[in-house]
Structure 1
Amino acid sequence: MRRNLSVLAVVAVMVSALTPSVAFANGTDTNGGSDFDLAAVDALGLLDGPQALPPSAREQNGLPPTADAPPAPTGELSPDSGLTVSVPSGTVALSPSDVGSGELVADGDALHYTADDYSVLLTGEGSAANAGYIVINDAAAPTSYSFDMTANGAPAVLVETDGLVRIEDRATGEVVNTLSRPWAVDAEGSSITTWYSVEGSVLTQHVDHQGATYPVVADPRLMCDALFCTFEYTRAETKSMASTSTFPSALLTAACTALGTPLAGVLCGLSGAYVISKANEIRNSGKCVGLRRFHYTTAVPPLIVAVNCYA
């Protein structure tokens, strides 16, 4: 089992009640518990931390030629407070609602919670992302999963816009972090309908999993870490970006706005031809396109980087 986990997200995994165990694509056969949940997430490649990069791939990740691997997530895990992520504008904490305390597993790289019909995995430093993964055990499991959010130590203000959720400081109104657009896939890689709703400081991800092939994985993740913010695209969106006939300029502009770049109205200052060329290069390497803005270089266009495809 790979132990590196570094993503910001929530994962919902569901297993049919008709079978006592599930065989995953990676050969794991298990009956439940934290090993089952880790295997379900790992089967989608979501537990991989930063890997060593050949020189040709370093530019794709916005790294200098001497860098060996992408920067790792910096989220901290605690059984009491869940996942906490610090950025220049403050800290955001995320924990599942109404499931009690978590237990550190996978050598401390994940925080595992159990409920009656599902489980939750939170990941931060040492993993693929700053994320919260919900693992659901059967088709009778609920279709809504909630998380409590704080910003700078107080209940956050959550604002949904264009599928994203801004996490604001209640006292100042400043945006501290942003949740990426929700996604969900089943065991065959098919996209599952999913969406967010917000009420006060509680985020809920809804997953319409009926009729899916289990397990189903759904993931809300934080866009920003200590060093940068990344807007990640799906396989289908990366394919569209690689074509002159389907190039989604509106989607790129939306990402520029979400990243807070002052060049939002002009494709972040990037030319369409350059984006198409980079998207083709990244797609041919088996990755998906990401737009990355480093906190200390906000006056320049964001970088186009290669990220792992999760949907």
Structure 2
Amino acid sequence: MKKSVSSTAVGTAVLLAVLCGTAPVAVADEQDAVDVVAEASPGDIANAADVALLDGGPASLLIDGLSIEVPEDARDGLSISAGAGAVTIGLPFAAAAAEGDATAPGTATYDNGNETSSVVVVHESGSLQVATVIDDASAPTRYDYPIEVPSGASLQASDAGAVVVDAAGEVLGAFAAPWAKDAAGRDVPTRYEVDGNTLTQVVEHDAGYAYPIVADPVYTTSTVYISKATVKQMYQGMNGIGNVCTVLPVPYWVGIACSGFPGRQAVEQAYWQNKRIKVSYVSCGFNYCSYNTFSVVS
């Protein structure tokens, strides 16, 4: 099932959040997991994409040229374009999770069968959030996210958080520094641990904190590559060759070439040199000032 969502940035952010609770069970039972996330971070749910995920199967979305896959089976993980391939982010406790349930637009919830749920939120801006909602103080303090990376790439710890780098050392995407706060707004100690290609967020919660607790790192895709075949279509679209712009569906990068965009010079050069284009997303923290750069590569 293919869906398309428009936004203003190529970067795709992945927000990995953990909500931990020792509130009375009656309170937890009265709240849908998405509602818990909405209370902890209202802007995230308010900015969810207005699309129905898991509408009869896994969701495949195209956001600013990036592919995002939200699975029905949690064991399949979340797939996001990165470099010339994709990064797949596994969900905690996925082996025991029930099939995903879409309870609100742009969201999917997985019951992990251990008093926790994973809530995926796809934002209109192109960011992707994963929140773990935990119902009581006996919940785990460690949340493993196995990361599948493109061939030759690896997950590495960084001063700020963690990064996915390719064989040449170029950063394809990054996890921002983790943070965690309880329901009273107090900081909760949290950190990342990297073991191979598994990212673990440790949240040192206990009954001394007010629940639920929210821990929220961010993953941003930094680099994607436009193939030679797509470059050719973009060049044809810019120059009115072969009615490329009128053949539906028009691929994202071809579509923006048809309407004119800042990468025109790179397309012209790549077309005549038979090369690819590297698109790098530069984030200033806000959509209105974030931008993409286009460079020609072999």
Q: TM-score, normalised by structure 2?
A: 0.58
Gaps of 5+ in 1: 1-5, 23-29, 52-70, 228-258, 262-267, 269-274, 276-287, 299-311
**Cα distance in structure 2, aligned partners of 1:148 and 1:296:** 30
Alignment deviations for residues 215-251 of structure 1 (CA, whole Å, 9 cap, x no partner): 1111222123789xxxxxxxxxxxxxxxxxxxxxxxx
For residue 41 of structure 1, report the CA deviation from its aligned partner: 0.7
Are the aligned partners of 1:179 and 1:222 in contact in 2 as well (CA < 8 Å)? Answer: yes
Are the aligned partners of 1:83 and 1:130 in contact in 2 as well (CA < 8 Å)? Answer: no
Question: Which structure carries more strand by proportion?
Answer: 2
Are the aligned partners of 2:115 and 2:139 in contact in 1 as well (CA < 8 Å)? Answer: yes
Are the aligned partners of 1:15 and 1:136 in contact in 2 as well (CA < 8 Å)? Answer: yes
Gaps of 5+ in 2: 1-11, 50-63, 225-279
Alignment deviations for residues 185-213 of structure 1 (CA, whole Å, 9 cap, x no partner): 11122222111001111110011122211
Structure 2 SS opposite 1:12:
strand
Are the aligned partners of 1:72 and 1:125 in contact in 2 as well (CA < 8 Å)? Answer: no
One-letter amino acid of the structure 1 residue matched with residue 71 of structure 2: S
**Cα distance in structure 2, aligned partners of 1:188 and 1:155:** 43
Q: CA RMSD in A?
A: 3.7
For residue 87 of structure 1, report the CA deviation from its aligned partner: 4.0
Alpha-carbon distance change, 156 to 42 in structure 1, aligned in 2, over 3 angstroms: farther
Q: TM-score, normalised by structure 1?
A: 0.56
Alignment deviations for residues 130-180 of structure 1 (CA, whole Å, 9 cap, x no partner): 12211111011111111111113x6962111113211134x6654321111
Are the aligned partners of 1:163 and 1:195 in contact in 2 as well (CA < 8 Å)? Answer: no
**Cα distance in structure 1, aligned partners of 2:134 and 2:116:** 4
Aligned twin of 1:14: 20
Are the aligned partners of 1:186 and 1:192 in contact in 2 as well (CA < 8 Å)? Answer: yes
Identity of aligned residues (%): 25
Are the aligned partners of 1:78 and 1:111 in contact in 2 as well (CA < 8 Å)? Answer: no
1:75 counterpart = 2:75: no
Aligned length: 208
1:40 counterpart = 2:43: no
1:90 counterpart = 2:95: no
Aligned twin of 1:121: 119
Aligned twin of 1:137: 135
Higher radius of gyration, 1 or 2: 2
Are the aligned partners of 2:18 and 2:132 in contact in 1 as well (CA < 8 Å)? Answer: yes
1:295 counterpart = 2:288: no
Are the aligned partners of 2:109 and 2:120 in contact in 1 as well (CA < 8 Å)? Answer: yes
